[in-house]
Amino acid sequence: MLSFTEENYLKTIYHLSDNGLKSVMTNEIAEMMETKPASVTDMIKRLAAKSLITYEKYYGVNVTKNGKSEALSIIRKHRLWETFLVAKLGFSWDEVHDVAEQLEHIQSPLLIEKLDEFLGFPSSDPHGHPIPDKHGKFHIARQILLAESTGKKASACAVKNSTPAFLQYLSKIGIYIGASVQVLEKIEFDGSLEILVDGKKKVYISREASENILVTE
């Protein structure tokens, strides 16, 4: 069983590796974990000893199949908890991360299965990130910028900019993750869009805003 700390390192390394596609360097990890490179080297050895990563001195680490599966299980828990906090407890998008960061380490497969069921087996979290299923499988919907949407009905699935100011603005005009959005008209003059939110509310948004909202068609 992994410690709290080992789990955090592994998750960070997995994210930095781009789903296991590339090697990750010691300094990157140190910066992301807000710790010192020397500490990272120590932990790298531990994780390598447990076959979660492979490690070649001075050349960074790669996540193994085992490591990927462990990382996905942690990410699954994190995203299910975020979903719970927003959907059931009324947290806002920007309040959930730190709490989910703690909750993701709770050890109880039964709890996660029941939580998943309670939430209705969601496929993405409040930020629009996919939630892996219990086998680590997840579906990456092709996301496009709302600015590039062609007028079909689409579903808001993520934001590029997640500053409180932007999130509040979105909330104000009725856009949330999962909201239906449809581009009705593109104003050639400034690139702003008239969109239909949830099939009923028409609003205008600037080109800049439309380039920070991701949708799946």
Partner DNA sequence: AATATTTTTTAGACTTATCTAAATTTTTAT
Partner DNA sequence: ATAAAAATTTAGATAAGTCTAAAAAATATT
Please report, as ranges, the residues that interact with DNA according to CB under 7 A: 3-6, 25-28, 35-46, 55, 57-60
Task: State which of positions 107-146 bind a copy of itself (CB under 8 A).
Answer: 107-108, 110-111, 114-115, 118
Which of DNA, a copy of itself, none has residue 168 at its interface (CB below 5 to 8 Å by kind)?
Answer: none
Task: State which of positions 19-58 bind a copy of itself (CB under 8 A).
Answer: none
Report the residue number, 36 or 65, with the smaller CB distance to DNA: 36
Verify binding: residue 88, a copy of itself, rule CB under 8 A: yes
Part in contact with a copy of itself (CB under 8 A); list of ranges 96-104, 136-144, 148-156, 203-211: 96-104
In 3-state terms, what secondary structure has residue 29?
A: helix
Report the residue number, 6 or 94, with the smaller CB distance to DNA: 6
Residue 67, classified by CB atoms within 10 Å of its CB into exposed (0-12), middle (13-18) or buried (19+), is: buried
Tokens of 203: 């609003």
Short-list 119, 137, 110, CA closest to 19: 137
Report the residue number, 43 or 156, with the smaller CB distance to DNA: 43
Short-list 159, 160, 152, 206, CA closest to 180: 152
Q: Yes or no: say if 187 and 160 are a contact pair by the CB < 8 Å rule.
A: no
AA letter at 8: N
